[in-house]
A and B are shown apart, each in its own frame.
Chain A
Amino acid sequence: MSQPRMPIESGVPDATPYMHPLFIKNYGKWKWHDRPRPGVLHHVAESGDEIWTVRAGTQRQMDVYTVRKLCDIADQYAEGFVRFTIRSNIEFMVSSEDKVQPLIDALNKEGFPVGGTGNSVSMISHTQGWLHCDIPGTDASGVVKALMDELYDEYVNEDMPNRVRITTSCCEINCGGQGDIAINVQHTKPPKINHDLVANVCERPSVVARCPVAAIRPALVNGKPSLEVDEKKCVCCGACFPPCPPMQINDPEHSKIAIWVGGKHSSTRSKPTFHKLVAAGLPNNPPRWPEVAEVVKKILKVYKEDAKDWERMNEWIDRIGWARFFELTGLPFTKYHIDNWRGSRSSLNASAQIRF
C-alpha cells in the first residue's frame, strides 16, 4: 500500500507573489492618501508612485462564478491583483487614474456596489448562521443581505458623521464582534433538555463548568444520568448548547434579536468601547427581518442628523447622554438596560451630572 500524503506544513504563505507590483516596490514607504470619491482610495508613495484602489461590496459567501466574474473584471479593467478587507469588501488596484471610472462602471454593471470607504456604512460583518453553523439562532448571510439592501445608499455614499461598523451574530457568543451597531440573537428561555440523550452525548462535568452562572447541575432524570438547569438562575445564554446539543437553546419563537450600539475597536480619539444594549425582543423573522431593519435605520437616521463630524456612535452618545439617545430614537428604556453582571456598578451614573 502506498504511503499517505503528508501535509506540507507551510503555514501562512508569503504575500509577495500575490501583491500588486507597486505594493512590493513601495512596501513600507507610502506618504499620504486621500479619497477622490466614495469607494476610491488614492495612495501616494515617497517614490512618487500613485495607486488607486476601488472598493466593492460582495456577498462574502461567493459561488465560483461570482469569484471568476470578479477576476474577469480585475483582469480586464484592473491589473490582475485584488485583496479583501476584513469586512469582505474586495479591492482592485490600478496604477493610473484613468482606469478608475471604467472599473467602477464594470463593477456596477455586474451588480457590485462601489463604496464602503470613509464615513460610510461599510459591509456588515457576519458569521455563518443556518448555512453552516452548528448552534445558530438565526441566519447570517440572509440578515446581512436584507439589511445591506436597505442600507445600500449609505454604503455607496459617505454621508455619515464618521464610519459606521455594523455586525451580526447568530448567538450570544458574539462571533460577529463589537460594532457601532450589533445585531445579535438573544435567547429568552432556558434550554429544553432531551434527557434521553444527555448521558450518551455530553461530557457532563464540562457542561456544568461551561455555565457562566452555575445554573447547571448533574441529576438523575427518569433513572438516567442527565443534567438539570436552575431556571431561576439561567440567563439563557446558550453556552451549554455547543458542548451538549440535547440542551436545545434555539427556539423559533423565543430566540429573539437584540440590538446593541456604541462598540468601537480603534484607539482613535476615545479608547475602544464595547457595544451597549438598546433594543431587544425583536422577532427572528426571515427572510428579511423587517423589524430589525426598522430599528437599525431609525438609529442610523438619528445618528446621521445629530452627531458631529468624526463622532463615532459611542462618542456621539457620550456627548448627548443615554437619556437623549432613547428620547431621540424613541426606543423604550427598560430594567434590562441596567447591567447587573460583575463589575456593572461602574456603568451606573455616580454623579450629579444630568442633562435636562
Chain B
Amino acid sequence: MAKKSHETPMLDQLESGPWPSFVTGLKRLANDEGKPYASMMKDLLGQLETSYKTRKGYWKGGTVGVIGYGGGVIPRFTELKDENDNPLFPDAAEFHTLRIMPAPGMHYTTDVLRKMCDVWEKYGSGLIAFHGQSGDIMFQGCTTDNVQPAFDELNEMGFDLGGAGPAVRTAMSCVGHARCEHSCYDEQRAHRALVNRFLDDMHRPALPYKFKFKFSGCANDCMNSIQRADMAVIGTWRDDMQVDQNEVKAFVAKKGRKYVIDNIITRCPTQALSLNDDDTLAVDNKNCVRCMHCINVMTKALSPGKDRGVTILVGGKRTLKIGDLMGTVVVPFMKLETDEDFEQLEELAQNIIDFFAENALEHERTGEMIERIGLANFLEGVGLEIDPNMVNHPRTNPYVRMDGWDEEAAKWNERKAAG
C-alpha cells in the first residue's frame, strides 16, 4: 500500500500564484507512486512543513562521499527525531546533494538533461536545482547508499563532481564568446583551463578555506565576479573603442539628442564622451575606463576595441568573517589569446593558490589574508609588480616606515625605463 502523504497546509499555500511553484513539483514527485523516490519526497515534504510551522531548520551535516574524492557531496541527515532517536520522517532521513559541474556557460542539449533526469529518477529524489549559488547542478536528495552509483552514472556521462569545503570550488562563466558581442576573451577556455588544472585541490580539500574563480567577458560582470570570486577574470581592451559613426548618427536620429546626452554622454563616469555638432561621437579613449555603459546602450554603434585581454582581481567574498570584501586589481591588463597567454594565466593562478595555501590562516579567504598582510606583501609573494591601477588613491596616513624609499623609487624608474 502506498505511503500516506503528510498534511502540508502551509506549503500548499505556495502552490497558488503565477510564478512556477517548487511545492507543486515536490508533490508531483511525492505522489509518483511506484517510483523509488515517492516515499522519500513524502517525508521531505513532512519535514519541510515542520520547518514552516516551527520556523527552524532540521538538517545536519556529516561525512558522505564517493570513492577517490574527499568532497563534492553535501551530506544531510535529519535532526527531527522522536524520544527514542528514531527519525520522524524516516524516508527522508538521508537527503544528500551531489554537486555536479556543468559546462561553462551552462549550455545543455535536451538529450543530456533528459539523461540527467533518468539518473536522478533512478537513484535520487527526482529534484534538481539549476543551479546553486556556486554554479553547480545540485542533484538534491540522495540516500547514502545511492550516492556512489548516482555519481558513477553521471561521471560516465562526462560530468564530474564540483567543490565543497576548503577547496577550489566550481567556477562560473558568462555566456560570453558563445553569444555576446561584448565578450573580450574566451571565457570557456579560461574557465576550463583554470579549474581543470586544480582538480586535485577541488576533489581533495586541503586548502585553508574555499577558493573561487569566476569569469566575465566584460565590465558588466554578469558573473558578479568582483564580489564573489577569490580570483575574478574580467574581459577588457586597451586600444580605442570601436565606433561606427554612421550608426551613431542613426541612433541620434532615432532617439533624439536629449536622450543621447542624458543617457549616454553625461552617464560616462569619466566624461570621456562628447556629442559633436554633426551627431557623431567624440571619445577620449585615454580616459575611458571600459565601464561598458555607452556600449550597452548603443549596441550597434559601439564595441570594445580590438586589442583585448583581461583584468584580474583577487579577494572577493561574502560576509563571514570580517564582512563582505570586493576583489582588488592585481593585474590591470594581460593578453589572453595564445597558448602561452593561457599558460601564463594558469601559472599566475598556481602562484596565488600556492601562496594562499601556505599563508592563509584556517578558514581565512584570500581577501581576508590580503587585508591582514597588506596588498604589497601579497603581490611580492605571488610575484606581481605593483601598479597605480591597484588603488583608488595612495596612502593618506603617514604612519609607515619608509626608509626603503630610494630603492623602491629606483625599481619603478627601472621598470619604466625598460618599458
Q: Is the CB of B127 within 8 A of A62?
A: yes
From B223-231, B345-353, B408-416, give the one contacting chain A.
Answer: B223-231
- With CB as the reference atom, state the residue of chain A lying closest to B289: A267
- With CB as the reference atom, state the residue of chain A lying closest to B133: A175
Give residues 239-272 of A contacting B (CB, 8 Å): 239, 245, 250, 252, 255, 263, 265-270, 272
Q: Which of A8, A13, A63, A84 has the most CB of B within 10 A?
A: A63
Question: How many of chain A's residues touch chain B, expressed as a range?
Answer: 35 or more
When distances are taken between beta carbons in the complex, the residues of chain B under 8 Å from A263 are: 227
Q: Is the CB of A57 within 8 A of B20?
A: yes
Query: At the interface, yes or no: A113 with Cβ under 8 Å from chain B?
Result: yes
**Complex partner residue of B228 from A27, A148, A177, A252, CB under 8 angstroms:** A177
When distances are taken between beta carbons in the complex, the residues of chain A under 8 Å from B174 are: 86
Q: Is the CB of B299 within 8 A of A272?
A: no
Query: At the interface, yes or no: A284 with Cβ under 8 Å from chain B?
Result: yes
**Complex partner residue of B103 from A15, A20, A28, CB under 8 angstroms:** A15
Q: Is the CB of A172 within 8 A of B319?
A: yes
- With CB as the reference atom, state the residue of chain A lying closest to B392: A271
- With CB as the reference atom, state the residue of chain A lying closest to B119: A64
When distances are taken between beta carbons in the complex, the residues of chain A under 8 Å from B109 are: 17-18, 80-81
A236 to B34, CA, bound (A): 46
B271 → chain A closest CB, angstroms: 12
Q: Is the CB of B18 within 8 A of A62?
A: no
Query: At the interface, yes or no: B57 with Cβ under 8 Å from chain A?
Result: yes
**Complex partner residue of B55 from A10, A75, A138, CB under 8 angstroms:** A138
When distances are taken between beta carbons in the complex, the residues of chain A under 8 Å from B188 are: 15
Question: When A149-B19, A287-B14 are in contact, do A174 and B52 touch as well, CB less than 8 Å?
Answer: no
Query: At the interface, yes or no: A355 with Cβ under 8 Å from chain B?
Result: no
When distances are taken between beta carbons in the complex, the residues of chain B under 8 Å from A284 are: 55
From B81-89, B157-165, B279-287, B383-391, give the one contacting chain A.
Answer: B157-165
Query: At the interface, yes or no: A310 with Cβ under 8 Å from chain B?
Result: yes
From A98-106, A206-214, A324-332, give the one contacting chain B.
Answer: A206-214
Q: Is the CB of A83 within 8 A of B181?
A: no
Q: Is the CB of A268 within 8 A of B293?
A: yes
A310 to B324, CA, bound (A): 26
Q: Please, what's the 1-or-0 string for B50-68, where 1 marks a CB less than 8 Å from any CB in chain A?
A: 0110111111110000111
Give residues 73-130 of A contacting B (CB, 8 Å): 74-75, 80-86, 88, 90, 93, 111-113, 125, 127-130
Query: At the interface, yes or no: A131 with Cβ under 8 Å from chain B?
Result: yes
Question: When A177-B228, A267-B219 are in contact, do A13 and B56 touch as well, CB less than 8 Å?
Answer: no
Q: Is the CB of B127 within 8 A of A61?
A: yes
When distances are taken between beta carbons in the complex, the residues of chain B under 8 Å from A17 are: 109, 112
- With CB as the reference atom, state the residue of chain A lying closest to B297: A310
- With CB as the reference atom, state the residue of chain B lying closest to A263: B227
Q: Please, what's the 1-or-0 string for A1-21, where 1 marks a CB less than 8 Å from any CB in chain B?
A: 000111111111111011110
Q: Is the CB of B224 within 8 A of A173?
A: no
A27 to B117, CA, bound (A): 29
Query: At the interface, yes or no: B151 with Cβ under 8 Å from chain A?
Result: yes
Q: Which of B117, B181, B269, B292 has the most CB of A within 10 A?
A: B181
Query: At the interface, yes or no: B175 with Cβ under 8 Å from chain A?
Result: yes
A255 to B58, CA, bound (A): 16
From B21-29, B373-381, B399-407, give the one contacting chain A.
Answer: B21-29
A82 → chain B closest CB, angstroms: 5
- With CB as the reference atom, state the residue of chain A lying closest to B74: A132
When distances are taken between beta carbons in the complex, the residues of chain B under 8 Å from A265 are: 221, 224-228
Q: Is the CB of A130 within 8 A of B19?
A: no
B124 → chain A closest CB, angstroms: 9
Give residues 58-73 of A contacting B (CB, 8 Å): 58-68, 70-71
B301 → chain A closest CB, angstroms: 9
- With CB as the reference atom, state the residue of chain A lying closest to B162: A12
A263 to B158, CA, bound (A): 37
Query: At the interface, yes or no: B335 with Cβ under 8 Å from chain A?
Result: no
A64 to B289, CA, bound (A): 45
Query: At the interface, yes or no: B250 with Cβ under 8 Å from chain A?
Result: no
A136 to B262, CA, bound (A): 45
A118 → chain B closest CB, angstroms: 10
**Complex partner residue of B221 from A11, A33, A127, A267, CB under 8 angstroms:** A267
Q: Is the CB of A145 within 8 A of B22?
A: yes
**Complex partner residue of A287 from B10, B60, B293, CB under 8 angstroms:** B10
Question: When A12-B103, A178-B224, A267-B226 are in contact, do A28 and B52 touch as well, CB less than 8 Å?
Answer: no
Query: At the interface, yes or no: A288 with Cβ under 8 Å from chain B?
Result: yes
Give residues 110-125 of B contacting A (CB, 8 Å): 110-114, 116-117, 120-121
**Complex partner residue of A63 from B29, B171, B320, CB under 8 angstroms:** B29
Give residues 259-318 of B contacting A (CB, 8 Å): 262-263, 267-269, 289, 291-293, 296-297, 299-300, 303, 318
Q: Is the CB of A206 within 8 A of B362?
A: yes
Q: Is the CB of B66 within 8 A of A7?
A: yes
Q: Is the CB of B151 within 8 A of A174?
A: no
Question: When A62-B127, A83-B107, A149-B18 are in contact, do A30 and B181 touch as well, CB less than 8 Å?
Answer: yes
When distances are taken between beta carbons in the complex, the residues of chain B under 8 Å from A199 are: none
Query: At the interface, yes or no: A31 with Cβ under 8 Å from chain B?
Result: yes
Q: Is the CB of A83 within 8 A of B321?
A: no
When distances are taken between beta carbons in the complex, the residues of chain B under 8 Å from A27 are: 177-178
A175 to B210, CA, bound (A): 13
Query: At the interface, yes or no: B11 with Cβ under 8 Å from chain A?
Result: yes
A315 → chain B closest CB, angstroms: 9
Q: Is the CB of B160 within 8 A of A12?
A: yes
30 A-B interface contacts by CB (under 8 A) = A7-B67, A8-B160, A12-B101, A14-B103, A15-B104, A18-B103, A23-B178, A27-B178, A32-B300, A34-B299, A60-B130, A63-B26, A63-B126, A63-B127, A64-B128, A66-B20, A67-B116, A70-B113, A127-B133, A130-B48, A132-B76, A145-B14, A145-B23, A172-B320, A175-B133, A265-B225, A268-B292, A272-B227, A287-B52, A341-B323
Which residues of B line the A interface, CB within 8 A? 10-11, 13-14, 16-23, 25-26, 28-29, 48, 51-52, 54-61, 66-69, 74, 76, 95, 97, 101-114, 116-117, 120-121, 126-133, 135, 140, 151-152, 155-156, 158-161, 171-172, 174-175, 177-181, 183, 186, 188, 191-192, 195-196, 199, 202-203, 219-228, 234, 262-263, 267-269, 289, 291-293, 296-297, 299-300, 303, 318-324, 326, 362-363
Besides A12-B191, A88-B129, A148-B19, 18 new A-B residue pairs in contact (Cβ under 8 A), listed by A number: A18-B112, A59-B21, A59-B25, A60-B22, A61-B22, A62-B127, A64-B29, A68-B113, A88-B130, A130-B48, A132-B76, A145-B17, A173-B319, A263-B227, A268-B292, A272-B227, A274-B227, A309-B263
The 8 closest A-B pairs by CB, nearest first: A149-B17, A63-B25, A15-B103, A252-B55, A130-B51, A11-B196, A71-B110, A148-B19
